[in-house]
Structure 1
Amino acid sequence: MKRAMELAAGGRVAWGALALAAPGLNVKLAGMGGRDAPELRYLIRVFGSRAVALGLGYLLSDPAARRRWRRLCLMVDACDTAAGLAHLARGDVPRGPMAGLVTITGAYAALDALALRAET
């Protein structure tokens, strides 16, 4: 489980760094449109900085602090997944790309929950 969490944290850093450096490419890889809108590029960079902070926070922490980081990651991933599911239910976003993103955030949330459960 430890290795899986470290790989997930590394994935957060990589995706977040891409979002910061190339928000338009990040949106394109996610399969979403509107990547030229400045407000969307800003929001993607906000997401990117959050992802980098969560990933590095976890990776650079000692074992005792990692439990807090796992809880924070679970909260963020669960909120992201719930928001994505709400958009899917409303049908106000492209279904295919959103389903892919919800699958990613849902997998992160599940991994976070399993890691926390394994500690008890």
Structure 2
Amino acid sequence: MVGGMERALEMAASGRVVWGALALAAPGLNVKLAGIGDRDTPELRYLIRIFGSRAVALGLGYLLSDPAARRRWRRLCLMVDVCDTAAGLAHVVRGDVPRGSAAGLAAITGGYATLGLLALRAEERPALTPPR
């Protein structure tokens, strides 16, 4: 991975770490920021902490890896992001959680998934060698 794409992936991984750490430290704040403060329960806070652990692990796994391992981490992150986005969109369609909240979170995870897909495409393209 080169230049701008690698930098974008590192920024995304850092974002995972920050968001995950916030979820672990202040799950109630995550509930409020997601726009579902009226649905705050101990069970929801527990699930948010689970999300937080996963986000920190994905972000640090990527940031602390060598280039070969980062390739694998990109694929793992892409799988998680696609699953999260699909789940969020399903909630938007069903309307069983506030649509704005589900759509907002799906937009965030969809952005991560889009970045992952672009990185995958960039990996598959042969590197251009400058003319001599």
- Given the two structures, how large is their TM-score scaled by the length of structure 1? 0.97
Matches within 5 A, 1:86-105: 86-105=90-109
Which of 10, 21, 28 is equivalent to 2:32? Answer: 28
Is the counterpart of residue 74 in structure 1 residue 78 in structure 2?
Answer: yes
Structure 1's consecutive aligned runs of 4 or more residues displaced over 4 angstroms after TM superposition are none
The 2-side partners of 1:25 and 1:91 are apart by 23
Count of aligned pairs:
119
Other-structure match for 1:110: 114
The superposition leaves residues 68-93 of structure 1 with CA deviations (integer Å, 9 ceiling, x where unpaired) of 00000000000000001111111111
Q: What letter is aligned with 1:108?
A: Y
Give 1:116 shift.
1.2
Q: Tell me by how many angstroms 1:3 deviates.
A: 0.3
Structure 1 residue 30 displacement after superposition:
1.3
Q: Which has the larger radius of gyration?
A: 2
Q: Following TM superposition, by how much is the alpha carbon of 1:105 offset from its aligned partner in structure 2, in angstroms?
A: 0.4
Deviation sequence 1:29-73 (CA, Å, 0-9, x none): 1111322x1110100000000000000000000011001000000
Q: Distance in 1 between matches of 2:100 and 2:60?
A: 30
State the one-letter code of the partner of 2:64. Answer: L
Query: 1:78 is matched by which residue type in structure 2?
Result: V
1:4 shift after superposition: 0.3
Q: Secondary structure at the match of 1:92?
A: coil
Question: Could you tell me which residue of structure 1 aligns to residue 63 of structure 2?
Answer: 59
Quote the sequence identity (%).
82
Pairing 1:49–2:70 present: no
RMSD: 0.7
Please report how far the alpha carbon of residue 23 of structure 1 lies from its aligned counterpart in structure 2 after TM superposition: 0.2
SS at match of 2:97: coil
**Which consecutive unaligned segments of at least 5 residues does structure 1 have?**
none
Mapped to 1, the partners of 2:81 and 2:47 lie a distance apart of: 17
